[in-house]
Chains A and B, each alone.
Chain A
Amino acid sequence: MVEKKKATTKKTDTKKQEVKKETSKQVPAPAVGSTTKQEARVGVFLCHCGTNIAGSMDLMAVQEYASTIPNVAYVDNYQYMCSTPGQGKIEKAIKDHKLTGIVVAACTPRLHEPTFRTATKEGGLNPFRFEMANIRDQNSWVHMHDREGSTEKAKDAVRIAVAKAALLQDLYPKSVPVEKAAMVVGAGVAGMQAALDLAYAGIKTYLIESSPTIGGRMSQLDKTFPTLDCSQCILTPKMVDVGRAENIELMTYSEVDSVEGYIGNFDVTIRKKARGVLTPKEAEARGLVGGGCNGCGDCDAVCPVVKPNVFEIGMKPRKAIYIYHPQVVPLIYTIDFDSCIKCGLCVTACGPEKRAIDLESKDEFIKVKVGTAILATGYDIFPIEKKEEWGYKRYENVITSLEFERLICASGPTGGHLVRPSDGQTPKRVAFVLCAGSRDNTGIGKPYCSRFCCMYSLKHAHQIIEKIPGAIPYLFYMDIRSFGKMYEEFYYRIQDEGAKFIRGRVANILEDKETKNLHVMTDDTLLDRPIDMEVDLVVLASAIQPSDDTNRTRKLFGVSCSMDGWLLEAHPKLNPCGTTTAGVFLAGVCQGPKDIPDTVASAEGAASAASIPIHMGQVELEPYFATCIEEKCAGCGMCVNLCPYSALSLVEKDGRTVMQVTEAKCKGCGTCGGFCPGGAIWMNHFATPQIVAQIDAFLLGGEQ
């Protein structure tokens, strides 16, 4: 810890001229906020945060010390500085003591910087004349048992903050207009709901979906828990609404190709993949009035190429020209050009009136401008064959839950008859392996809970009891997580219906070579005995993971992901739909596993958040941007290449080349300012003299 020498100045008479010490090095010439040289009078406010701070340090000693720091004109403390009386203290002190800067030593600026800036503003100062010293999260909480050490550290933090506060300047946020349009990436139930909410709120919304139809995972499900609604039945009306909504511009079989700009003004390029089939609208644009695909399927009937249908997880064939299922939106066929042999039979079948098929179609790039964007990129099934012990893809009668959904679904490949893949027989004994690859710390599966597998496995158990007389479902589980509304009740119901629950993680599954039956090996941890159970079919409730394209898409929008790959929200509790990139929001499972109700709720939250800047019409940008000190700038342009946000450019001014900042693009990262060889870049709010003063305050321990 740095040794301190107490300054001799007293609390009330800091009108000494020491103020000039650091500022004398360089007089900044910022574009905005430059005030006439004025003596700094800093007010310091110490927060007890109940016992969070006051319980771990001697706050009175910190107060006494603070009063001796140069430029400090007023010191006070309060139980909760963030409370209304606490804020009132700041406002009153600014007026009574003619303060020029405010320091609050409390929690983190992430939490209360806006609160105290407002109080500073209410007191009559520019809100950017506020500086926060974090003496809680980085001090009292981590040094809970070192009272002396944390007290000394708090003194340092306050001294450093005062050093900066003495040099703070007035700053004024810039406003930029917001384009009255939004984009939603991914048209599963989350993306559809978000797009519908935005559209109904009067906002033009581009809904981008990479597959040929909207509907996502939910459209692959048979029934939903715990209500046992038919998934398609409740989803298709929404799909139709999306297809018809006036404000939604639906772009299926399309991907986001590039994103430029910032909140309010994102320029997005969309790649419309070559579909080979014209919509009626596209046909009309080509002069084929009354033409275009009407979904009749004549092409499908003649196409000679057969491929597995990914919507049915390969359990049903499709042609090279295909739709996923009869309820697709939009009802437009798609040609899989990777397998199309261009025989032209479909063109003939489509006929001279529709002329919907264009075998030479190419990817198109479309540019749109939007104010905000929502990512709803969803999930994929974890490749459960990686958990070799369960033999998926090795044993025919081991399937995943999503395959089960298709097999039990009336519109699925077997017309809703659950059969064993090996022999087409109806299984009587079905084992469900829960947490298959979830809550897995072996390094192969996923450490997190996939959050809906317990519930859909209960539903699966119900479905086989209902559909197959005499069938017994065996659920191998760690614990059943039935946390939602009416979920626990559903769990009891399935128990009463006769499902068998065995608490134990499945160690191994073996196949009987002759019968293709499976032996599920586990330890029944309630009865404390090993189990070898012979069953006809095993269903793995496989973990989920972010969908394939998530990583590429998130990078385009500058969104981070957490360690587990799910997209990172701005705050896990208080801002779950926002991201750290202004104007970009998250909906549904791309942020983390969610069941359908939570997904829809999250989508509505994201839509609401994304509509706010659009309805406001303009957004304020933090005034932390870089400024070029033109007389110092040599126009070398090195900063231009360094800027990660493409915010800088070179311009001709008075016959010289100088750098110019596009303030709306600048994030104030400081890369250019730190690099500039001529010191010609002034970083607002993080100016060199301010930072140097902070470093000096720390290293010199208050010594002048």
Chain B
Amino acid sequence: MSENGAKHKFAFYLGCIAPNRYPGCEAASIKAMKKLGVELVPLKGASCCPAPGAFGSIDLNVFYAMAARNLVLAEQMNMDIALLCNGCYKSIWEVNHKLKHNKDLRDGVNEVLKEIDMEYKGTINVYHTAELLYNDKFVGVDKIRDSVTNPLTGARIAVHYGCHLTKPHKDREFEKEVMSNTEHPTWMEELVAAVGATPVEYRNKMQCCGAGGGVRGYDIVHSLDITNEKLINLKEEKVDALTDICPFCQLQFDRGQIEIQEKFGVSYGLPVLHFAELLGLAQGMSPQDLGLDLHAISCEPFLQKVL
């Protein structure tokens, strides 16, 4: 980690869905984190992470090599990676972890990387931005609370953690250091409270969004069925919005509501925001700056409540 005064600097890995579907998360992350003393420097030339379900379950060699290439790009910048998607976290964090601890795998990957004159060295770490926000080694809840100019008072917000960040538990170091558990965590609720909103518990909150693991690509109806169950549980609590820390989960909940309406004929109209977007709003960024108008489900009712 390169430090510059009180500042932390990270190579910012965007992934695919954030820049393509929800550019607001990207903008919000960069701007909001800057106010909190974390500089996100674009990781240029990065490829897909690659997606853990789509690639990981077809060809592990491609999976490792592609992720390793992204890691090498950051190694060349001499910076740790920060990213904003659970799927990317699963790929890049896990490949980094495995390559650091398994020499055979590392040698194999380096043989492939040699063809493009690269070598994986294992000199950097990988962080999720949510982890940076919660961990007071970097930012911490107090600092977030202090940065808020437009508290989202009165908004009832439910949290979706997403699977890949927290599981498998025994491999996830940040959990052991920072959070207490995987099965019923509450640290994101603390983040929601820090931006002035009211965190809301709901039934089966740790259930999958339905998208991950290639399910969305393979069997959309089944995938939406899972999403629908979550939406039913959320509706019961009359929440104003759902927040997530993964653009893929966000896509599933946001875009998925349209698909659910088409396929099952049910509509929820539940605004879905990445936590970076929430943080941006709370720090005074405009909905336009955050690209909230690009969401499939209108954020208007929620915005009226908090702005």
Interfacial residues, chain A to chain B (CB-CB below 8 A): 386-389, 391, 394, 441-444, 508, 510, 513
Contacts and interface: CB of A to CB of B under 8 A. Distances in A.
Contacts, number: 25
A442 B184 contact: no
Interface in B68-99: none
A-B pairs, top 4 by smallest CB distance, nearest first, are A388-B183, A443-B170, A388-B184, A389-B183
Given A388-B182, A444-B181, 10 more contacts: A388-B183, A389-B183, A389-B184, A389-B206, A391-B184, A394-B184, A441-B170, A442-B168, A510-B203, A510-B204
A444 B170 CA distance: 8
A442 B204 contact: no
Contacts of A386: 181
Q: Which of under 10, 10 to 19, 20 to 34, or 35 or more describes the interface residues of B?
A: 10 to 19
B170 A442 contact: yes
Contacts of B184: 388-389, 391, 394
A442 B169 contact: yes
Interface in B132-188: 168-170, 181-184
Interface in B167-219: 168-170, 181-184, 203-204, 206
Contacts of A394: 184
B223 to A, nearest CB: 16
Contact of B183 (A387, A441, A443, A513): A387
Interface of B: 168-170, 181-184, 203-204, 206
Contacts of B204: 508, 510
Nearest to B176: A443
B181 A443 contact: no
A388 B167 CA distance: 14
Contact of A388 (B170, B181, B203): B181
Nearest to B182: A388
A393 to B, nearest CB: 11
Nearest to B237: A513
A443 B203 contact: no
Given A386-B181, A389-B184, A444 B203 contact: no
A531 to B, nearest CB: 14
Nearest to B203: A510
B111 to A, nearest CB: 30
A394 B170 CA distance: 23
Nearest to A390: B183
A419 to B, nearest CB: 25
A156 B164 CA distance: 54
Nearest to B169: A442
A211 B90 CA distance: 49
21 contacts: A388-B181, A388-B182, A388-B183, A388-B184, A389-B183, A389-B184, A389-B206, A391-B184, A394-B184, A441-B170, A442-B168, A442-B169, A442-B170, A443-B169, A444-B181, A508-B183, A508-B204, A508-B206, A510-B203, A510-B204, A513-B203
A389 B203 CA distance: 12
A694 B206 CA distance: 63
Q: Max chain A CB contacts within 10 Å: which of B168, B184, B206?
A: B184
Contacts of B206: 389, 508
Contacts of B182: 388
Nearest to B167: A442
Contacts of B169: 442-444
A506 to B, nearest CB: 12
B185 to A, nearest CB: 8
Nearest to B180: A388
A16 B169 CA distance: 68
Contacts of A387: 183
